[in-house]
Amino acid sequence: MSRKWMFAGLAALMLILIWGCEKSPTGTEATTDKEAIEEIIAGNVGGYFSFDDHYGADDTTSTKGTKEYAFAIWWRWPSSWVRDITIIIKDDSAHVTYVGAVTGIFHLMVDSVPPLDTLIDHPKDLEDDFTRYAIFRRYADSVEAGYRGWRLEKITGVEVTSKDHTVDIDSVRVQSTSYPDTVITDPWVFVDRQSIFTFGPEEEVTLTVYSSDSIYAFLHARGCFGGHCHWWRWRFNASNTGTWTTPHHEGVRVAAFDILHKNTIDNIDYMYDSNAWIFPYMVVAK
């Protein structure tokens, strides 16, 4: 495939993803409490329940080296989703466990040595499992506002693991004006809805991913680069550290810390081997 056509196709896919990320529900027709909570989750209200934005061609981040090839482009492309939502309701509280599985293809487009004008796809089977938790509360005085009065109270991040994965994120470090030095060691810690990470518009954030494995680390998030603000994938440096600039528009977004075993990209015969932590965050003018 010619590089110029490859890039054109990726750009089109980016537009599809961005359009999908902006959707939000406009109402509810739930007749039971469980249906109301399921509608909130399925509708991805406010972006709190986004978890799949790192699937797809969110950019054309490349890897260059002197191994089996000189140039590589990669992305995940899902073909099927299985979701299972368990809701346990007691009085005016509900505990939610949200698990699922994704199957598809990890596309690795490589240019052989010496560089050619053709990128060859070396697809790898993709099987991911994900888990997150949430707590909802029912407010009787807001029933007329929709969803039978149910509102999201607390939420965790999402952990995504590939089948037979060997790599693991140990922790993530966040350093910025809003958070001088914060370390996340568990993606499943409950956080109040209004207490998730909150940054100012276009705030510079230094991020570090810690892992004991031989990895490439990436961040998938909305942000600004070169005067453009949309969904990007950034590659961290050799120390797994990078600087991200938050979007300038206020609202709830998600960011995915994503690691791949180096051989997933450096060796066309090695399996897809990944771990990701995904968190909601807010951008608010301060």
Residue 175: enclosing H or E segment and its boundaries?
Answer: strand 171-176
Instruction: Give me the pLDDT at residue 112, please.
Output: 66
Strand 93-112 relative to strand 124-138, pairing: antiparallel
DSSP line for 42-91: HHTGGGTT---TTSB-----EE--SSSEEEEEEEEEEEEEEEEEEEEEET
The lowest-confidence range among 7-21, 52-66, 129-143, 255-269 is 7-21
pLDDT digit string (tens) for 123-172? Answer: 999 999 999 999 999 998 777 678 999 999 999 999 999 999 999 999 99
User: pTM here?
Assistant: 0.84
Q: What percent of the chain has pLDDT over 70?
A: 79
How much is the CA Rg of the chain, to the nearest whole Å?
20
CB 169 within 8 A of CB 212: no
Quick one: tokens of 140?
A: 């009787």
The domain segmentation of the chain, as residue ranges, is 3-283
76 in helix, strand or coil?
Answer: strand
Quick one: tokens of 103?
A: 């199957």
> Measured on CA atoms in the order 41, 47, 53, 54, is the torsion positive or negative?
negative
The lowest-confidence range among 40-49, 131-140, 234-243, 247-256 is 40-49
The lowest-confidence range among 136-145, 188-197, 222-231 is 222-231
Helix, strand, coil shares, percent, the chain, to 5:
15, 50, 35
Q: Chain centroid to CA 248: how far?
A: 19
CB atoms within 10 A of CB 2: 10
pLDDT category at 224 given cuts 50, 70, 90 is low
Q: What's the order of all strands across the beta sheet hosting 182-184? A: 182-184, 171-176, 204-210, 241-245
